[in-house]
Chain A
Amino acid sequence: MKKEFLKGNEAMAEAAVRAGCRFFAGYPITPQNEIPEHLSRRLFEVGGEFVQAESEVAASYMVYGSSMTGTRCMTSSSGCGLALKAEGIGYITGARLPAVVINVGRGGPGLGQILPSQQDYLSATKAPSNGGARAFVLAPSNVQEAVDLVYEAFDIADKYRCVCYVLTDGVIGNMMEGVVLPEMRDLSSLPDKSDWVVTKRGPGPNTQFGNKRIITSWQNTGEELEATNQVFADMLEGWKANETRYEAYQMDDAEVVFAAYGTSARVAKTVVNKMRAEGIKAGLLRPITLFPFPEKPFEALDAAKVKKVICLEMSIPGQLIEDVRAFVDKKIPVEHFGRSGGVILKPEEAYEASKKML
């Protein structure tokens, strides 16, 4: 396997192509521009289509349109761009269409800053759109993992007919690391969608009057919509039961537990190592699926052993900490240290701040 030195954004874009993505629509926004730039060239080489949309909103609906043909498709953006895409994400979710969305996070709220940040945890995991829409959210912490998760995101989106949302940030998007790119998928090996795509006729889950296919998030009655809401609720329970992922680092005897994802988790690892070298029993729980949130390892923390949980985040106030607090035993104090606005969390300051909390 050949290792290449690639920038995170380009590597994620290429991973999408190799996963079978054949349609991308996006709008320029920093710090994710290498994704559309790479795809503007690559997709045509592999027989796909690229559209530079007139707006973030339009891009999300182009993806909605592409997905209903059975095509693997994606859009990407950052921060405030995702706020605009929220409308389309809701339509895609409501119509049960698969799509991949990458957020290369920047500071906020509002225009905020183009610098890297983790200020979109709550919007990604709790309310990526209106009406209770939820997305499957993955958070890579290095370029290789970003490649692997983007590649897999298309499978997850197809499996559940949902939005699979890769939440990363400007650090991972713009750093260069050695990566091994995955194999180019044979399109004929991808899941068969012929029973529901709008480009075909005939019986299927969204067929009416014998032949007619309908793609919509509209329901004719309150009862029908309620039944659909229940289908979503069951799907989310299934994710919780079967799909949560996390990394446990030095956790076996940990008395100080760090909780961090993405870029912050890299910083947290350095802090754990430094503390371990001093004899402090530190460990790290790193959620890889931010939604479904890996509740179990947090619930399992033993108050007799664990003295403190420290959330490290590039967000002020903390956002991940809301989920961590919800599942950690109330007897264990949970604290937050973070930087935001594009100020990148440094291992030294995270170490110093954490030491003070002990």
Chain B
Amino acid sequence: MEKIFGLPSTVLEQMTHQFCPGCGHGIVDSLLMHELEEMGVKENTAIVWPVGCSPMAGSVSTINQVSAAHGRAAAVATGLKRSSKDTFVICYQGDGDLAAIGTAETIHAANRGENITVIFGNNSIYGMTGGQMAPTTMLGQLSTTTQSGRNSEQHGNPIRMAEIIAGLEAPKFVARYSVHDAKHVMQTKQGIKKALEVNKNGGYSFIEVVTMCPTGWKMTPEQSVKKIVEENLKVFPLGVLKEVD
């Protein structure tokens, strides 16, 4: 019998991941692991996985791994890449990390055009710490710190990081994807591939992926997918925002 699908060697078979059922991070991480294998760069890649739910894939990956403090991944990646030009450097970050405490590091690494890829899992919530409001939380969305729903007067509006990054000179590829259904998962895979190719050819690339957090949203996986379509994608439109050859 022919094996048509299996785990890439970038994933440890003996380990199980710790993501909640219906979490979007696992899908993005899985796509990344497949791409790293397909591109043949797994032996000289270092992934910076900071704090939050986003780094939980680290425990099932065979790729060299670096932890960073909340928000500091892009600064760590800068030092790592500048001192080791042959290493393929990727940051995988969540929204509390990248869009709140790490905005300075995120924007300035992009603005310097560091030769790294930043993958940003945007699930509009602080998942790991129990569901607090993130900078990307929808207006009206309930969270443990917006118990009557987020309102713009008190909490500001959801922040669009991909648009901010795309407004800078140096980045070579900036795009937003979603993993709420199979079609969009396949588009995300193509986006990750493109971002990694830009990295390989020497440039900064940024991928935002709108993901589900059923636990933080206090929804079923099905309801979470519905919320993405009906709410999140209206605030976070999909597509390539910047592409430079």
Contacts and interface: CB of A to CB of B under 8 A. Distances in A.
Interface stretch (B58-66, B129-137, B155-163): B58-66
A51 interface: yes
B76 A61 contact: yes
B108 to A, nearest CB: 4
Interface in A42-99: 49, 51, 53-55, 57-59, 61-71, 73, 87-88, 91, 95
- Interface size class of chain A, counting residues whose CB lies under 8 Å from the partner chain: 35 or more
B108 A198 contact: no
B190 interface: no
Contact residues on B (Cβ < 8 Å of other chain), bracket? 20 to 34
Contacts of B12: 209
Given A23-B79, A66-B80, A71-B83, A198 B46 contact: yes
Contacts of B104: 54-55, 58
B83 A69 contact: yes
Given A54-B108, A198-B46, A199-B86, A62 B66 contact: no
Contacts of B78: 25, 51, 58, 62, 65
Interface stretch (B33-41, B67-75, B120-128): B67-75
A215 B67 contact: yes
A25 B76 CA distance: 11
A343 B76 CA distance: 38
Contacts of A67: 79
A22 interface: yes
Nearest to A95: B67
B70 to A, nearest CB: 9
A216 B86 contact: no
Contact of A57 (B72, B80, B87): B72
A201 interface: yes
Contacts of A214: 58, 64-67
3 interchain residue pairs of minimum CB distance:
A65-B79, A62-B79, A65-B80
Interface of B: 12, 43-44, 46, 48, 58, 61-69, 72, 75-84, 86-87, 104-105, 107-108, 112
7 contacts: A51-B79, A54-B107, A54-B108, A67-B79, A91-B69, A212-B62, A218-B67
Interface of A: 22-23, 25, 49, 51, 53-55, 57-59, 61-71, 73, 87-88, 91, 95, 198-199, 201, 209, 211-218
